[in-house]
Chain A
Amino acid sequence: MNLTLKIWRQKNANDKGKMVDYPISGIEPDMSFLEMLDVLNEELINKGEEPVAFDHDCREGICGMCSLYINGEAHGPDRGVTTCQLHMRMFNDGDTIYIEPFRAAAFPVVKDLVVDRSAFDRIQHAGGFVSVNTSGNTIDANSIPVNKHDADDAFDAATCIGCGACVASCKNSSAMLFVGAKVSQFALLPQGQVEATDRVMNMVKQMDEEGFGNCTNTGACEVECPKGISLENIARMNREYLKASFKG
């Protein structure tokens, strides 16, 4: 396959950045999208140019490190996958592919396609935990029975990989799906009930301070989420937040 890549290049956080065209050939349909970028980078290095910086690590769709806004969609045109699992067979010979970083004021660009998603970490620091000591002096695991449906829903919420596709896809750069998933996981489990009020208040406060936009329920996040996190989690967070607010 021969392709034309239009890639965002930006030297560092202070650089203005621009889109640059790169023709590339000899791409096989079996390659993953990141392997295609590996090929490009190898060519660039051999030509004495700077390779394109992009985030990636596990390359099996679970670590959440890879990002990329490909042809106008987070993680590209395929569904239920991260960029590392997107394969070139999704594209056609001769295609032009736009490759941009995840865009949000709360995700500043570090270099080229690499963005800083530490805002997500800070939201978690504000309350993404159950306050139990790790001393091991806890009660027996089976003394806390959990309704299977709640446990399954909590698991579904907990599968979020924190990649930020929801923020990137949202027209308002809202982080509600990410925060909703975390709030939901704990709200659904008895272990998380004890500090539910403080948790949701603190996490939403931090989310707002980070400069994410408001949710307008377009549902784009749910469609683009590689793990299929449901909008129900946002509704649940709204309920939890309102409950907590009225409690005072």
Chain B
Amino acid sequence: MSGILNSSIGRKFAMALSALFLMIFLLQHFIINFSSIISADAFNNLSHFMGTNWLIQYIMQPVLIFGVVFHFVMGFILEIRNKGARQIKYAKNNGAANSSWMSRNMIYSGLFILIFLVIHFIDFWIPEINTKYIQGDMSGLLPSGEYRYYEELVHKFQPLWRVALYCLGFVFLALHLLHGFMSAFQSVGANNKYTRALKGFGKAYAIVIPLGFIIIALVHHFNH
């Protein structure tokens, strides 16, 4: 078991595990965000719970951060190693003949997602941490006495540039997932009679979830 991360399969396994974890997180994030276009109260309550529950804040949040960082760092390590496995490039390579654009460009869709995440952190996460842990306001309330989460969300989606960037980020996430979802299952060794069904589900997931995030952003942008 020791040293599994030194083997090619071990690394891919770790990559896949972190990916599966992130995909579950993404689903959870989506459900909460989606609630914002149904009911402001539901969104506020869920956000407050997530933002103040000790299990989420002190256990899951660090795990998530580790997961994200690990996935990116491992992604870069693998990319560097893979580049080294072919030092002389082909004069002519017809990759489209045998594989999808998404599968061949995970590093680029991943990089764009990384840029998006950095902005997302600066935009949403850092102010949130600032309010809660630097200023010490754990109430989650506006001066008006209402929860602040929904208000803040709506406010964030007002500038067009942010909405545009947000949408673009999710387009790349969709591309990343279109290959990544199934790839993660293959890497952990799941390829059997359920694979066809899983492939269909993976495609649906890769399109529906990012599209949902985009719709949420557009709804808030145009409704307010």
Question: Are A and B close enough to touch in the complex, i.e. CB under 8 Å?
Answer: yes
A-side residues, CB < 8 A to B, are 6, 8, 19, 69, 71-73, 77, 98, 100, 103-106, 169, 171-174, 176, 204-205, 207-208, 211-220, 223-224, 231-232, 234-242, 245-246, 248
Q: Which residues of A contact B106 (CB under 8 A)?
A: 216
Contact of B11 among A105, A106, A214, A219 (CB under 8 A): A214
Asked if B97 is an interface residue, CB under 8 A from chain A, the answer is yes
A205 and B7 in contact (CB under 8 A), knowing A235-B186, A242-B189?
Answer: yes
A218 to B1, CA, bound (A): 27
Please tell me if the beta carbons of A72 and B186 are within 8 angstroms of each other in the complex. no
Please tell me if the beta carbons of B82 and A216 are within 8 angstroms of each other in the complex. yes
Size bracket, chain B contacts? 35 or more
A213 and B98 in contact (CB under 8 A), knowing A235-B186, A245-B1?
Answer: no
Top 10 A-B residue pairs of the complex, sorted by shortest distance between their CB atoms: A72-B94, A235-B191, A239-B189, A213-B85, A172-B82, A223-B98, A238-B189, A218-B103, A173-B85, A218-B99
A6 to B10, CA, bound (A): 40
Asked if B93 is an interface residue, CB under 8 A from chain A, the answer is yes
Please tell me if the beta carbons of A77 and B99 are within 8 angstroms of each other in the complex. no
A69 to B88, CA, bound (A): 13
A103 to B78, CA, bound (A): 19
Output the least CB separation between A169 and chain B (Å). Answer: 6
Q: Which residues of A contact B93 (CB under 8 A)?
A: 72
Please tell me if the beta carbons of A103 and B13 are within 8 angstroms of each other in the complex. no
Please tell me if the beta carbons of A235 and B85 are within 8 angstroms of each other in the complex. no
A242 to B103, CA, bound (A): 24
Within 8 A of A (CB), among B14-38: none
Please tell me if the beta carbons of A73 and B91 are within 8 angstroms of each other in the complex. no
A211 to B87, CA, bound (A): 11
Please give 14 more A-B residue pairs, beta carbons under 8 A apart, in addition to A204-B8, A204-B9, A218-B100: A69-B90, A72-B97, A103-B88, A105-B87, A169-B98, A172-B86, A176-B8, A208-B7, A208-B8, A211-B84, A213-B82, A218-B179, A223-B99, A239-B189
Closest to A6 in B: B91
Asked if B188 is an interface residue, CB under 8 A from chain A, the answer is yes
Which interface residue of A105, A171, A232 has the most chain B CB atoms within 10 A? A171
Asked if B190 is an interface residue, CB under 8 A from chain A, the answer is yes
Please tell me if the beta carbons of A105 and B85 are within 8 angstroms of each other in the complex. yes
Asked if B45 is an interface residue, CB under 8 A from chain A, the answer is no
Closest to B182 in A: A217
Contact of B82 among A72, A98, A171, A207 (CB under 8 A): A171
Q: Which residues of B contact A248 (CB under 8 A)?
A: 1
Closest to A215 in B: B12
A112 to B85, CA, bound (A): 20
Contact with A along B175-194 (1 / 0, CB 8 A): 00001001100111111100
What are 8 pairs between A and B in contact, CB < 8 Å? A72-B95, A77-B97, A212-B85, A213-B86, A215-B9, A216-B106, A235-B190, A241-B7
A217 to B110, CA, bound (A): 16
A240 to B191, CA, bound (A): 13
Please tell me if the beta carbons of A71 and B94 are within 8 angstroms of each other in the complex. yes
A236 to B187, CA, bound (A): 10
A207 and B8 in contact (CB under 8 A), knowing A214-B82, A238-B13?
Answer: yes
Please tell me if the beta carbons of B98 and A224 are within 8 angstroms of each other in the complex. yes
Output the least CB separation between B165 and chain A (Å). Answer: 27
Please tell me if the beta carbons of B98 and A219 are within 8 angstroms of each other in the complex. yes
Output the least CB separation between B10 and chain A (Å). Answer: 7
A8 to B167, CA, bound (A): 45
Contact of B8 among A69, A215, A231 (CB under 8 A): A215
Please tell me if the beta carbons of A98 and B92 are within 8 angstroms of each other in the complex. yes
A38 to B57, CA, bound (A): 70
Q: Which residues of A contact B129 (CB under 8 A)?
A: none
Please tell me if the beta carbons of B100 and A104 are within 8 angstroms of each other in the complex. no
Output the least CB separation between B199 and chain A (Å). Answer: 11
Please tell me if the beta carbons of B9 and A237 are within 8 angstroms of each other in the complex. yes
